[in-house]
Chain A
Amino acid sequence: MTALIEARGVSKRFRQHRRFPGLLGAFKTLVTTEYSEVTAVADIGFDIAAGEAVGYLGPNGAGKSTMIKMMTGILVPSDGTLSVLGRTPHLERMANARQIGVVFGQRSQLWWDLPLIDSFTLHQRIYDIPLARYQDNLARFSELLDLKPFLDRAVRQLSLGQRMRAEIVMSLLHDPKILFLDEPTIGLDVVAKDAVRRFLAEINRERGVTIILTTHDLQDIETICPRLIMVDQAKLIFDGELGKLRSALGSARRLTLEFATDPGPVILSTATLTSDDGLIKHYLLERDDVSLVQVLSEVGNDRDLKDVALHEPNIEEVIRSFYQRRNTAAAITP
């Protein structure tokens, strides 16, 4: 099966006019034309197959939105090749537009002063959706996301959560093959987030709509996306199943051993001792292939072991510790 989206060595660079700080700097900015080049996306490659749901994760400024904009044909890559539905997105933007749905979290595409249904009607006209199909989809999605009560209300009177649900429904009305979502849950409350996540997971499962969403909320990815692509400082740092992220980023499990009587220092080959409080000792399991059983057998039966606790770091910790290590590394290298 061929990939729906193919990215090969994709990069995007922007030029920025340089500004100088302070009063003198302000005058200097007036007369200089210096530019600095910013790399938003650097040499990224991946394949996404039909029916996948992929979370695109990274901190602010990591190049998530830029990548989405290239995949939807808004921006042209500076380097590399990109193919979406077999087409080069920016060259065949219009043809692609009919087969993709796009939701930008913070910019509404709805008509502020008009009843919600009017924006949907316009969408039907722009995408030339057969009327029966449109009505069918609208009825079904409205049902699922509970839009019915406010279809006739002006958009400006809706809550942020209601508006986001409406945006998502609108983006699906023309049966897109791929749905791109840029920060779909940003600013929503817990209940609204949950509704959006469950809906997206269901659309992906039942209709086979390929979903690509950027987020910095891990919960989004855990609920919707089996696959995770993680970027940092424009580069790809991980592509795979969420469960494999830990070993890929090299975050160790922590082990705590509690003894009934102090056995003295216990040095193991399978785990590294990090702190020793006598009765309670803490270890790091740096290697992923070491199992708890192996560690315990090394400890042996003769040392009065009372309790064992193994801490799997959660994803959030894994990522946080990754960024912390990256920052200290950056501080050391000049």
Chain B
Amino acid sequence: MRRTLGTLLLLVSMYIKSQMEYRGAFWLDRLAQIVSYGAVLLGMWILLQKFQLLGGWNWPELALLFSFQLLAYALGASVSFTQLRNLDDLVRLGTLDALLTKPINTWAYLIFSGLNIGYAGHIILAIPVLVWALLAAQVSWSIGTALFFVGSLLSAMSVTGAVITMIGATAMIWVRSNHLFAIFFGFWELTRYPLNIFPAGIQAVMLTIVPLAYISAVPVAVLLDKPVPLLGDFAWLAALLAGPLLTLIAIAHWRYAMSRYQGAGG
């Protein structure tokens, strides 16, 4: 166990070392991402200057939603997205085959050899906004809400990682999975807004088959004591359970996809 951990840490440090070969580009990329997400936030601010409320949410509340989503996404995606987005390439080029001949867990190797420190940009933007919004929005703090905040953030991060892992793993069955990522990011953009503004169909989808509501809209609504469509009083529980539950499903899916790839599952 300790040995495996050491190997994974070595993988992470090797990846960081190879990223730092292009340090100038690295930081330029982070800057570009901060500017880009900043522009989204600015757009939201412009809209709220004109209209004051969006689906019953004011500016600090929306800023809280935005930054919570960005932080949860960055943390979850850093252990999944860039590594698994290219899984279809790895399959096509045979890199995955080479990995399968090593005495190390394939998933662990993939994830830790590409642990994406590039999400630093997201985090640098998200944390100050989150801190400001937590202070400016009307959160009634107690030990309960504080625990819920931490727990739901961890859960949200797991939801992100689990959903991306499932999409990525599909590449092992269908060879290409990019189109699923296109759908994912379509829904993902919606998670910057309160769930209640969308048609009931989209709400239902985002609470079930594309469970992205749990990475922001549900937990932040609970935190701000706002009603959550369809879930009602169970929203807090769903927000906390979504992460662990989806992680288990993602593990099962990964195993299934792997066995299909090897031709064991028919």
**Residues of chain A having any CB pair with chain B under 8 Å:** 12, 14, 69, 72-78, 90, 93-95, 97-98, 100, 102, 104, 106-107, 109, 111-114, 118, 121-122, 125-128, 154
A104 touches B262 (CB 8 A): no
Contact present for B102 and A104 (CB under 8 Å):
no
Q: Known contacts A104-B94, A122-B10; is A114 also within 8 Å of B18 by CB?
A: yes
* B186 CB-CB contact with A under 8 Å: no
Q: Check: B232 CB closer than 8 A to any chain A CB.
A: no
Chain A: minimal CB distance from B159 (Å): 30
Contact A94 B103 (CB under 8 A): yes
Complex Cα gap A185–B103 (Å): 25
A112 near B18 with CB under 8 A, answer: yes
Residues of A within 8 A of B22 (CB): 113
Which residues from A are CB-within-8-Å of B39? none
B120 CB, min distance to chain A CBs, angstroms? 19
B101–A73 CB distance below 8 A: yes
Asked if B100 and A12 sit within 8 Å, CB to CB, the answer is: no
Chain B hits for A126, CB < 8 A:
7, 102-104
Taking CB atoms and an 8 Å cut-off, the chain B residues in 1-45 that contact chain A are 3, 6-7, 10-11, 14, 17-18, 21-22
Are A107 and B93 in contact, CB atoms less than 8 angstroms apart?
A: yes
Please tell me if the beta carbons of A12 and B10 are within 8 angstroms of each other in the complex: no
Chain A minimum-CB-distance residue to B259: A76
Report the interface size for chain B: residues with CB under 8 A from the other chain.
23
Given contacts A106-B94, A107-B93, A74 and B262 within 8 Å (CB-CB): yes
Query: Whole-angstrom distance between the alpha carbons of A97 and B106 in the complex?
Result: 12
- Closest-by-CB residue of B relative to A126 is B104
27 contacts between A and B (CB under 8 A): A14-B263, A69-B97, A72-B100, A74-B100, A74-B101, A74-B262, A76-B263, A90-B262, A90-B264, A94-B103, A97-B101, A97-B102, A98-B103, A102-B98, A102-B101, A104-B98, A106-B94, A107-B95, A113-B21, A113-B22, A114-B14, A118-B17, A122-B10, A125-B7, A126-B7, A126-B103, A154-B21
Q: How far is the CB of A186 from chain B (nearest CB, A)?
A: 13
Asked if A97 meets B263 with Cβ closer than 8 Å, knowing A114-B17, A114-B18, the reply is: no
- Quick one: given A73-B100, A102-B98, A126-B104, are A111 and B262 in contact (CB under 8 Å)? no
What's the Cα separation between A190 and B10 when bound, in Å? 37
Contact of A75 among B21, B98, B103, B262 (CB under 8 A): B262
> Beta-carbon contacts of B116-138 to A below 8 Å, as 1s and 0s?
00000000000000000000000
A109 to B6 CA separation, bound complex (whole angstroms):
20
Taken together as a complex, chains A and B put the C-alpha atoms of A72 and B94 apart, in Å, by 14
Q: Which residues of A contact B95 (CB under 8 A)?
A: 107
* Bound CA span A98–B7, Å: 15
Q: Which of A69, A106, A126 has the most C-beta atoms of chain B within 10 angstroms of its own C-beta?
A: A126
Question: Ordered nearest first, which 8 A-B pairs have the shortest CB separation?
Answer: A113-B18, A97-B103, A102-B101, A76-B264, A76-B263, A74-B100, A113-B21, A125-B7
A309 to chain B, nearest CB (A): 47
What chain A residues lie within 8 Å of B93 (beta carbons)?
107
- The residues of A that contact B98 with a CB separation of less than 8 Å are 102, 104, 107, 109
Task: Tell me, rounded to whole Å, the shortest Cβ–Cβ distance linking B123 to chain A.
Answer: 24
Q: Most chain-B CB neighbours within 10 Å: which of A12, A111, A154?
A: A111
Residues of A within 8 A of B104 (CB): 126
* Residue ID in chain B nearest A115 by CB atoms: B17
Residue of A nearest to B10 (CB): A125
The 8 A CB mask of B161-187 against A (1 = contact, 0 = none) is 000000000000000000000000000
Nearest opposing residue in chain B for A94, CB measure? B103
B176 to chain A, nearest CB (A): 11
**Please, which residues of chain B bring their CB within 8 A of the CB of A106?**
94
Q: How far is the CA of A14 from the CA of B102 in the complex (A)?
A: 24
Chain B neighbourhood of A107, CB < 8 A: 93-95, 97-98
Distance in Å: Cβ of B250 to nearest Cβ of chain A: 21
- Please, which residues of chain A bring their CB within 8 A of the CB of B18? 111-114
Task: Give Cα A97 to B98, complex, Å.
Answer: 11
Nearest A residue to B103, CB-CB? A97
In the complex, the chain A residue whose C-beta lies closest to that of B101 is A102
